C-alpha cells in the first residue's frame, strides 16, 4: 500500500513539528527518492507533451512548408517534376526586381487594400456608432450586419460579377437610369479595382462594425454624461470620448484588415474566372496572392512561385514593423 509522501503530512497529535515515522527503512528512502525524481521529471516534461500536438501540426503544416518553400525558391522547379530541382541561387529573387508583373501585382494589392480597407473601417465605425444608440430591434440589425460575413466568398463574388456585368449587369442598368454610359467593370483599370474592393467592403464591414460595437459598449456611460455636462455635442462626444477609447480596437482591426488585404485572392480570382489567375486582360486587378498562384499552379513554375511567396513574406514583415512602430507611437502619445 503506497503512502502519500508528497502530500503535506497530517498534523501529529500533540506535537508542533511534523514528525516522521521514526523507523523508515533504507529501501523506503530509495523508493521515495525514485518517486520524487519521477514526478519531477513528469512535472518538467508533461507540459511539453500537452502542447506538442499544436507544435507537431505547426512543424508539419507551417514550418516545414515555409522552409521547403525557401529551399525551392533557390531552384528552378516545375510542377511536372517537383523532385527534379536545379540550383539557380538567388536568380528567382533578383529577377523579381525587374518583373513588371510582380510590381504591378504589388501595386494592385496596395491600391485595392487601401480603397477597400479605409472606407470599410470608416463605414464600420459609423454603423457601430449608430447601432450603439438605443434602437428597436437592435439584435435584428446586428444580425443583418453580420450576414454578409456568413456567406461564402465564392458565392458572393460570383453574384457581384453578375451585378457588375457590362452589358446586362444591374449596376450599369441603375447608372443608366441617370444617363451614365455603360461601365466596363471588368476591364477598366480603376473600375475593376473598385469593383473588387466593393466585394471586400460588402463582406467585411459588418464584421468590423460588430467589433467596434462591442468595444463601444464597454465604454463607461459616465464619460459621456460628464462630457454632456461640459456641454459637448454628440459629435464632440464621438470625437473625444468614443474614438480615444476605441484606439486599441481600431488598431486591431487595422492590423487584421491589412493582413486580409495583403492576402486578397479569391475575390480577384473569381471576378473574371475565365481569364484564370491573370487578373484581367491587362492584369489590372491581379493581386500578389493571385500572381503567386498563377506562377505556381497555372504556369507551373514552383521555384518562381516560392520566391514570390518569400518576397511577399518579407514585404509583410516590413509592413508589420511599420504597423508596430505606428501603434507604439500612438500608444506613447495617448
Q: Which is nearer to other proteins, 32 or 240 (CB)?
A: 32
Give the range of 117-125, 129-137, 163-171, 315-323 binding other proteins by CB under 8 A. 163-171
304 contributes a contact to other proteins by CB under 8 A: yes
Segment 31 to 70, residues that bind other proteins, using CB under 8 A: 35, 38-39, 42-43, 46, 49-50, 52-53, 56-57, 60
The single residue among 28, 276, 313, 322 that binds other proteins, judged by CB under 8 A, is: 276
DSSP 8-state symbol, 67 = H
CB of 262 to other proteins, least distance (A): 22
- Binding-site size for other proteins (CB under 8 A) equals 53
170 contributes a contact to other proteins by CB under 8 A: no
152 contributes a contact to other proteins by CB under 8 A: no
CB of 103 to other proteins, least distance (A): 12
CB of 8 to other proteins, least distance (A): 8
CB of 190 to other proteins, least distance (A): 15
Burial 3-12, CB ≥16 within 10 A → b, else e = eeeeeeeeee
- The C-alpha cell of 218 is what? 464597454
The single residue among 32, 66, 70, 78 that binds other proteins, judged by CB under 8 A, is: 78
Q: Exposed, middle or buried, 80 (CB in 10 Å: 0-12/13-18/19+)? A: exposed
Q: Exposed, middle or buried, 309 (CB in 10 Å: 0-12/13-18/19+)? A: buried
The rounded Cα 229 to chain-centroid distance in angstroms is: 41
The single residue among 237, 258, 299, 323 that binds other proteins, judged by CB under 8 A, is: 299
Q: Is the separation of the CB atoms in 162 and 169 below 8 Å? A: yes
Q: Which is nearer to other proteins, 78 or 320 (CB)?
A: 78
181 contributes a contact to other proteins by CB under 8 A: no
The single residue among 79, 135, 314, 326 that binds other proteins, judged by CB under 8 A, is: 79
How far apart CA 201 and CA 123 sit, in angstroms, is 9
How far apart CA 304 and CA 295 sit, in angstroms, is 7
Radius of gyration of the chain (CA): 30
The single residue among 184, 252, 320, 323 that binds other proteins, judged by CB under 8 A, is: 184
- The C-alpha cell of 173 is what? 442598368
Segment 196 to 255, residues that bind other proteins, using CB under 8 A: none
301 contributes a contact to other proteins by CB under 8 A: yes
6 contributes a contact to other proteins by CB under 8 A: yes
Q: What are the DSSP calls for 185-226, one per residue? A: TTTSHHHHHHHHHHHHHHHHHHHHHHHHHHHHHTS-HHHHHH
2 contributes a contact to other proteins by CB under 8 A: yes
Q: Which is nearer to other proteins, 49 or 218 (CB)?
A: 49
The stretches of the chain forming alpha helices (DSSP H) are 26-58, 64-72, 91-97, 100-131, 138-150, 153-163, 170-177, 189-217, 221-229, 234-237, 243-262, 266-271, 288-293, 302-333
- The C-alpha cell of 252 is what? 486591431
189 contributes a contact to other proteins by CB under 8 A: no
Which residues form the interface with other proteins (CB under 8 A)? 2, 4-7, 35, 38-39, 42-43, 46, 49-50, 52-53, 56-57, 60, 76, 78-83, 99-101, 161-162, 165-168, 184, 187, 272-276, 278, 281-283, 294, 297-301, 303-304
Amino acid at each position: 500500500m503506497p503512502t502519500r509522501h508528497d502530500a503535506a503530512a497530517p498534523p501529529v497529535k500533540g506535537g508542533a513539528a511534523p514528525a516522521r515515522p521514526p523507523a523508515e527503512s533504507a529501501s523506503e528512502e530509495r523508493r521515495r527518492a525514485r518517486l520524487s525524481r519521477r514526478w519531477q521529471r513528469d512535472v518538467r516534461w508533461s507540459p511539453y507533451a500537452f502542447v506538442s500536438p499544436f507544435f507537431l501540426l505547426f512543424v508539419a503544416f507551417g514550418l516545414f512548408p515555409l522552409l521547403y518553400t525557401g529551399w525551392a525558391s533557390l531552384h528552378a522547379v516545375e510542377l511536372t517534376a517537383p523532385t527534379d530541382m536545379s540550383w539557380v541561387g538567388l536568380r528567382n529573387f533578383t529577377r523579381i526586381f525587374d518583373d513588371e508583373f510582380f510590381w504591378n501585382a504589388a501595386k494592385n494589392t496596395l491600391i485595392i487594400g487601401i480603397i477597400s480597407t479605409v472606407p470599410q473601417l470608416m463605414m464600420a465605425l459609423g454603423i457601430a456608432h449608430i447601432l450603439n444608440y438605443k434602437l428597436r430591434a437592435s439584435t435584428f440589425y446586428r444580425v443583418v450586419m453580420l450576414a454578409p460575413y456568413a456567406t461564402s466568398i465564392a458565392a458572393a463574388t460570383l453574384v457581384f460579377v453578375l451585378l457588375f456585368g457590362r452589358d446586362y449587369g444591374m449596376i450599369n442598368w441603375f447608372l443608366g437610369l441617370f444617363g451614365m454610359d455603360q461601365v466596363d467593370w471588368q476591364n477598366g483599370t480603376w473600375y475593376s479595382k473598385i469593383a473588387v474592393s466593393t466585394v471586400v467592403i460588402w463582406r467585411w464591414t459588418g464584421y468590423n462594425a460588430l467589433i467596434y460595437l462591442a468595444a463601444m459598449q464597454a465604454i463607461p456611460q459616465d464619460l459621456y454624461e460628464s462630457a454632456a455636462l461640459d456641454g459637448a455635442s454628440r459629435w464632440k462626444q464621438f470625437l473625444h470620448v468614443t474614438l480615444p477609447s476605441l484606439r486599441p480596437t481600431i488598431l486591431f482591426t487595422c492590423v487584421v484588415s491589412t493582413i486580409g488585404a495583403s492576402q486578397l485572392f479569391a475575390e480577384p480570382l473569381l471576378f473574371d474566372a475565365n481569364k484564370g489567375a491573370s487578373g484581367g486582360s491587362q492584369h489590372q486587378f491581379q493581386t500578389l496572392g493571385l500572381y503567386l498562384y498563377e506562377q505556381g499552379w497555372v504556369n507551373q513554375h514552383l521555384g518562381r512561385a516560392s520566391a514570390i511567396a518569400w518576397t511577399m513574406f518579407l514585404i509583410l514583415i516590413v509592413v508589420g514593423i511599420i504597423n508596430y512602430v505606428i501603434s507604439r507611437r500612438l500608444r506613447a502619445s495617448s
